[in-house]
Structure 1
Amino acid sequence: MVTQAVTRGAAPRLRADATRNRERIVAAAQEAFIEFGPDVPLDEIARRAGIGNATLYRHFPDRRELIRSVVLSVLATMADEAEAIMNDAPDAFTALEAIVHGAVEWKIGALCPMLSDWMDLAQPDLQAARDRLDIVVTGVVNHAQAEGTMRTDVGPGDIMIIASQIARPLPGAAPADHGYFVHRHLQLVLDGLRTPQRSILAGRPATLDDLRDSCVATRMQHH
């Protein structure tokens, strides 16, 4: 009986260790991809995660699977945070501001090269994660416009494109300096989304599909 109890107790600890290792690898990979791009050596990711190369390859046999896990993790985190913000914010525009500032912190701009170069956008789990985030972002934009606090000539794609572009550091900029200015400049843009609008925008509101099409176009230019 004692032996059986020990055996039953050991297995969950092993599974918990494996889960923690996987989470550490994904977190380290996300940081490394943001800093160096999706081609960063996997040895560097293992070093940052504090695990050996063999452990990394046991969880992720190739780079594509690791990138896929990072993208899914970021999309899920963004959706979780955005849903929580919407539930707690006093109004839709306040929720929008928090979500957009959060998108910069989540480094959404770093997803574009990974989506365009490494991912099959038709994969069911990726499609489901994207759809979930799309629903949240589109919903908060629609609510803000319905409340009359947000100009109606912009779309959710405009918002995410703004966030991803402002989040990209200037060449040679120190990370600390960029982190300070990015939220300052982002707030200037967000103030420009409020009503009453003071200008007429050229073109049409951008959709989230436009954002994805832009990622695909970037991939084609690189190849």
Structure 2
Amino acid sequence: MSIAAETRRPPRPRADALRNRERIVSAAREMFVEFGPDVPLDEIARRAGIGNATLYRHFPDRAVLIREVVLSVLSRTTEQADAAAAEETDPFAALRRFVHVAADERIGALCPMLSGAFDTDHPDLHTGRDRLDAAVRGLVEAAQAAGRMRTDVAVGDLMVALSQLTRPLPGTACPNMDRFVHRHLQLFLDGLEAPARSELPGAAATLEDLRTT
């Protein structure tokens, strides 16, 4: 590579800058789940253990931070879905594993994607959403094909339940709710297993249904 090309290459971010960015995204992911996407940015900076100026240097406005959090959750959750599919021999065990790990990844932070105020047209969001959709659909279809999961549910049903069961109850401060999340998710998973014990009202929800409601 020529010297001129080397001089045109943008400098790599410093290690401490990368750590700060990760701390901000992690803190924002937690607080978006707990308080919603309108939580004050100053509070996010405080939880991340950095100054306000550092937060704004990485994320000049709320929309950029929300998009980065959504991309992070999409990527991390997709990786967990792929790992569960590759490593579990029982397809329903793979689905169960994914559901519990997705809760720990704070998948409830994806709720801004369902808001009309959130710009979902960024190409990275399209890519991340499609990858997660395909990975989770693969888990669901494999479990259904094996006769291990009821067939009257779809990926959207799974994602709605995950988002709802991993968020605190509206209007309450529930700092200890995490200790109940996996218990309630297991009850939900028991309801997904075949044979079905009841008939579900309405139609199965797809991810496209969620984006158009």
TM-score range, shorter chain: 0.7 to 0.9
* Cα distance in 2 for residues equivalent to 1:131 and 1:17: 32
The answer on whether the counterparts of 1:78 and 1:106 sit within 8 Å (CA) in structure 2 is yes
Alignment partner, residue 88 of structure 1: 87
* Cα distance in 1 for residues equivalent to 2:19 and 2:174: 32
SS in 2 for 1:148: coil
Q: 1:109 to 1:141 in 2, by over 3 A?
A: same
The alpha-carbon deviation at position 88 of structure 1 amounts to: 1.0
SS in 1 for 2:115: helix
Asked if 1:59 corresponds to 2:65, the answer is no
Alignment partner, residue 134 of structure 2: 135
Deviations 1:111-144 (A, max 9, x none): 2136515531121100100000000000010111
SS in 1 for 2:60: coil
* Cα distance in 2 for residues equivalent to 1:81 and 1:181: 21
Give the percent of matched residue pairs that are identical in Structure 1 and Structure 2.
62
Deviations 1:15-40 (A, max 9, x none): 22221111111112222222222222
The answer on whether the counterparts of 2:30 and 2:109 sit within 8 Å (CA) in structure 1 is no
* Cα distance in 1 for residues equivalent to 2:126 and 2:187: 32
- Once structures 1 and 2 are overlaid, which stretch shifts more, 178-187 or 201-210? 178-187
Which consecutive residues of structure 2, in runs of 5 or more, have no partner in the other structure? 1-10
Q: 1:149 to 1:108 in 2, by over 3 A?
A: same
* Cα distance in 2 for residues equivalent to 1:118 and 1:15: 34
Q: TM-score, normalised by structure 2?
A: 0.86
Asked if 1:30 corresponds to 2:29, the answer is yes
1:77 is aligned with what amino acid?
Answer: R
Q: 1:99 to 1:53 in 2, by over 3 A?
A: same
Alignment partner, residue 175 of structure 1: 175
SS in 2 for 1:175: coil
Say which one has the larger Rg: 1
* Cα distance in 2 for residues equivalent to 1:174 and 1:104: 16
Q: TM-score, normalised by structure 1?
A: 0.82
Alignment partner, residue 5 of structure 1: none
Alignment partner, residue 196 of structure 1: 195
Q: 1:20 to 1:173 in 2, by over 3 A?
A: closer
Alignment partner, residue 211 of structure 1: 210
Q: 1:102 to 1:213 in 2, by over 3 A?
A: farther
The alpha-carbon deviation at position 179 of structure 1 amounts to: 2.2
The answer on whether the counterparts of 2:34 and 2:168 sit within 8 Å (CA) in structure 1 is no
Asked if 1:119 corresponds to 2:118, the answer is yes
* Cα distance in 1 for residues equivalent to 2:117 and 2:107: 16
Alignment partner, residue 6 of structure 2: none
Cα RMSD after superposing both structures: 2.0
Which consecutive residues of structure 1, in runs of 5 or more, have no partner in the other structure? 1-10, 215-223
The answer on whether the counterparts of 1:155 and 1:207 sit within 8 Å (CA) in structure 2 is yes
The alpha-carbon deviation at position 103 of structure 1 amounts to: 2.4
* Cα distance in 1 for residues equivalent to 2:95 and 2:188: 12
The answer on whether the counterparts of 1:46 and 1:53 sit within 8 Å (CA) in structure 2 is yes
2:209 is aligned with what amino acid?
Answer: D
Asked if 1:70 corresponds to 2:72, the answer is no
Alignment partner, residue 4 of structure 1: none
2:49 is aligned with what amino acid?
Answer: G
* Cα distance in 1 for residues equivalent to 2:46 and 2:165: 30
Alignment partner, residue 48 of structure 1: 47
The answer on whether the counterparts of 2:81 and 2:139 sit within 8 Å (CA) in structure 1 is no
The answer on whether the counterparts of 1:67 and 1:114 sit within 8 Å (CA) in structure 2 is no
The answer on whether the counterparts of 1:64 and 1:118 sit within 8 Å (CA) in structure 2 is no
Alignment partner, residue 143 of structure 2: 144
Q: Point out the structure with the larger helix share.
A: 1
